[in-house]
Structure 1
Amino acid sequence: GQVGDAPQMPEVLDRVRVPTPGPGRPCTTPSRVLADKAYSSRRNRSYLRGRGIATTISQPADQVGHRLRRGSAGGRPPAFDPEIYARRNVVERCIGFLKHNRGCAMRFDKLVVQFYASVQVGCIRQWLRRLS
């Protein structure tokens, strides 16, 4: 409950498995990651760059200031496309749906395994609602 979400990004992306139609292994590398300012860190960006995943993550004002203060040693700003970033609302709506499950919203679970299970139950409930 006290761990931030941003440091967990590599662990979450390592669990991504998207089934492919027909036989074959599931896709484990997303083509792009859309995230908010909280996920803009050197660790996350270098991890994504190392896996060849395109990113659309806005930069917080303090990181922009630090880069500009360093001058030419600060490097180039990371690429950012506002039109692609606008698609992030799909994820925000999904999180809103999951928060209808009170256990996910309040984070009552003390163990990661239990929280992961409550997120899965919330996803199943949403899926069943859409079927009916």
Structure 2
Amino acid sequence: MSHYVIGLDLTDASSFTFTWAYRHLLSDGDTATIITVLPGWTEGTTKVSELTPEMSAAESLAQERANNLLLEMEKTEKRQIETYFRVVHADQDPRVALCNAAVNLKASTLVLGYDQKKSSHDFGAYCLDHCQVPVVVVRPTLL
């Protein structure tokens, strides 16, 4: 049984990555933790009451997107996969935060998307070079 951490933001590339991982990587009995990294959490801030309205709205939007993708996959792919969703509010570089989350969760693999529309692909390159768990970067052929 493997534990995959899947980075999810609000891009189409990220949605494709989640769908690809669910269809091609995850198997019965695996665990998937979907993580969205949002900026704005300062060290020592631990209470939901300390979230700004913008942070709460972004967290809700990320949760809704993850739930919709998961429901869509569960309709078409009949597998027993334990799934979790986490939002990481980070005051550090989101690349570092995602890699740290994968390590802290003892993930077997970190799965990321590749956004062809962006001119810079620092996120995936950073994780490939620095993450302490194996990294899969999913590059869609068509979006």
TM-score, normalising length: structure 2? 0.32
More strand by share: 2
More helix by share: 1
TM-score, normalising length: structure 1? 0.33
Structure number, greater radius of gyration: 1
